[in-house]
């Protein structure tokens, strides 16, 4: 219950092709995150899986059944929207009960389910309030509650945390991960925030302009990105890129080195540079180092970093941690 198979799925809006042919197999019980820059088609693909957008070509299979033309309500999926999409005129109780009432579930059964869901989500005290009287985090919980009561075979989340403030976001992130562990239901989670993707996902699909660049576990994407786009998108702060001239024996056009894989020395190293802005986070420090003739490097150092603005230092890469990219941006194996 809850495997979803995308086969050569495409979507055009007029003559703009928003989703290029996509193949993706989502396993039952998996937490998969679609991540990519804004406008790359993540929401569109999610809405196609939900049945809210038609599929231009290709097939969507849910639990092995072709569901390409199945209406949304019959797909057994539940979605949590970015705007929460709560029904503003109904109390929290009625919002959560709405899908059950439409499915003609008995009154007693509805009461039982609401009680259990609101207990899980800490909503018991707010049952008779309207959505307008709730905080952002509480609305988010109601939206999740409305999705859970239907016991769907998969949950679809479309940037559910983007309207919350930073600290609440971290909390809700944990709560959703926790929920996935207890329910063990398939979850597809769309976000443009790679931190959310890295922390929550079993597998991540990196989107770019309507195609999937790479699918893999968070560490696979971090350690062995297939191309420059994935390497640059996954990891925070971003990977540093250094353009170099290819030689007859080596096709490398560009080197990639993560901020945490650079060592600093005051005496010698590969690249001499001047320290620019320093960001102290307490446990770690990010230095922006201007390297002559190259770009600005971001370097991650320990919490008690002794350097100050304007210091002259030398940078070198940790051995075997550098990535090589060819002219097309693909990763070369060393």
Partner 1 sequence: MATSNSRTLARLMLFPSVVLLLAWMLVPLCMTLYFSFLDYNLLTPGNNAFIGFLNYEFFLTDPAFFASFFNTILLVGGVLLITLGGGIGLAILLDQAIWGRNYVRIMVLAPFFVMPTVSALVWKNMLMNPVNGLFAHFATWLGMSPIDFFAQIPLLSIIIIVSWQWLPFAALILLTSIQSLDREQLDAADLDGAGPFSKFYYIVLPHLSRAITAVILIETIFLLSIFAEILVTTSGGPGYESTNITYLIYTQSLLQFDVGGGSAGGIVAVIIANIVAIFLMRLIGKNLED
Ligand X SMILES: Nc1ncnc2c1ncn2[C@@H]1O[C@H](COP(=O)(O)OP(=O)(O)O)[C@@H](O)[C@H]1O
Provide the binding-site residues for Mg ion, judged by CB under 5 A.
43
CB-wise, 30 or 159, nearer to ligand X?
Answer: 159
Is 289 a binder of ligand X (CB under 6 A)?
Answer: no
Residues 5 and 14: their CA atoms lie apart, in Å, by: 25
Helix (H) or strand (E) holding 144: helix 136-148
DSSP tag of 249: S
CB-wise, 87 or 309, nearer to partner 1?
Answer: 87
Is 331 a binder of ligand X (CB under 6 A)?
Answer: no
Q: Backbone phi, then psi, for 176, in 5-degree steps?
A: -70, -40
Residues 129 and 103: their CA atoms lie apart, in Å, by: 24
Is 55 a binder of ligand X (CB under 6 A)?
Answer: no
Which partner, ligand X, Mg ion, partner 1, none, binds residue 13 by CB below 5 to 8 Å per kind? ligand X
CB of 248 vs ligand X, minimal distance in Å: 41
Is 150 a binder of partner 1 (CB under 8 A)?
Answer: yes
């986070």: which residue's tokens?
A: 281
Is 44 a binder of ligand X (CB under 6 A)?
Answer: yes
Q: What angle do CA 317, 195, 259 make, to 5 degrees?
A: 10
Helix (H) or strand (E) holding 50: helix 42-50
Alpha-carbon torsion, ordered 151, 156, 159, 164, to 10 deg:
0
Is 78 a binder of partner 1 (CB under 8 A)?
Answer: yes
Query: Binding to partner 1 (CB under 8 A): which residues in 86-115?
Result: 86-90, 98-99, 102-103
Is 42 a binder of ligand X (CB under 6 A)?
Answer: yes
Residues 123 and 180: their CA atoms lie apart, in Å, by: 18
CB of 156 vs partner 1, minimal distance in Å: 9
């009960």: which residue's tokens?
A: 97
In sequence order, which residues have a C-beta less than 8 Å from that of residue 333 and are 6 or more positions away? none
Q: Which of 81, 241, 286, 307 binds partner 1 (CB under 8 A)?
A: 81
Total length of the chain: 334
CB-wise, 39 or 72, nearer to Mg ion?
Answer: 39
CB-wise, 2 or 41, nearer to ligand X?
Answer: 41
Is 51 a binder of ligand X (CB under 6 A)?
Answer: no
Please work out the total of residues on this chain that contact ligand X, with binding judged by CB under 6 A.
10
Which partner, partner 1, ligand X, Mg ion, none, binds residue 90 by CB below 5 to 8 Å per kind? partner 1
Q: Backbone phi, then psi, for 132, in 5-degree steps?
A: -60, -20
CB-wise, 36 or 259, nearer to Mg ion?
Answer: 36
Helices 136-148 and 107-120: crossing angle in degrees, nearest 10, is: 130
Query: Binding to partner 1 (CB under 8 A): which residues in 10-69?
Result: 47, 50-52
Which partner, ligand X, Mg ion, partner 1, none, binds residue 41 by CB below 5 to 8 Å per kind? ligand X
Burial 217-250 (b: 16+ CB within 10 A, else e): ebeebbeebbbbbbbebbbeeebbbbeeeeeeee
């869901």: which residue's tokens?
A: 117
Is 191 a binder of ligand X (CB under 6 A)?
Answer: no
Interface residues with partner 1 (CB under 8 A) are: 47, 50-52, 71-73, 77-79, 81-83, 85-90, 98-99, 102-103, 146, 150
Interface residues with ligand X (CB under 6 A) are: 13, 18, 36, 38-44
């Amino acid at each position: 219950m809850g495997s979803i198979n995308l086969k050569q799925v495409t979507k055009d809006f007029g003559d703009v092709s928003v989703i290029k042919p996509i193949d993706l197999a989502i396993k039952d019980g998996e937490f998969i995150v679609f991540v990519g820059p804004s406008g790359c088609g993540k929401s569109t693909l999610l809405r196609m899986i939900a049945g809210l957008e038609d599929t231009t070509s290709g097939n969507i299979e849910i639990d092995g059944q072709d569901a390409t033309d199945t209406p949304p309500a019959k797909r057994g999926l539940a979605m949590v929207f970015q705007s929460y999409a709560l029904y503003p005129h109904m109390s929290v109780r009625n919002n959560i009960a709405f899908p059950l009432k439409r499915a003609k579930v008995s009154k007693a059964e509805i009461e039982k389910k609401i009680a259990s869901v609101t207990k899980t989500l800490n909503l018991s005290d707010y049952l008779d309030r309207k959505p307008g009287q709730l905080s952002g985090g509480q609305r988010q919980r109601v939206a999740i509650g409305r999705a859970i009561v239907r016991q769907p075979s998969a949950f679809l989340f479309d940037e559910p945390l983007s309207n919350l403030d930073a600290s609440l976001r971290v909390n809700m992130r944990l709560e959703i991960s926790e929920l996935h562990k207890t329910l063990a239901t398939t979850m597809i989670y769309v976000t443009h925030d790679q931190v959310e993707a890295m922390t929550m996902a079993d597998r991540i699909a990196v989107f770019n302009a309507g195609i999937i660049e790479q699918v893999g576990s968070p560490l696979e994407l971090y350690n062995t990105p297939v191309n420059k786009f994935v390497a640059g998108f996954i990891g925070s702060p971003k990977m540093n890129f250094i353009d170099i001239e290819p030689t007859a024996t080596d096709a490398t056009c560009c080197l990639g080195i993560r901020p945490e894989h650079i060592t600093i020395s005051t005496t010698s190293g590969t690249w001499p540079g001047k320290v620019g802005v320093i960001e102290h986070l307490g446990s770690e420090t990010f230095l922006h180092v201007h390297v002559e003739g190259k770009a600005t490097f971001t370097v991650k150092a320990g919490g008690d970093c002794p350097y100050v603005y304007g210091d002259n230092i030398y940078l070198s890469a940790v051995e075997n941690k550098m990535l090589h990219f060819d002219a097309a941006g693909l990763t070369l194996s060393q």
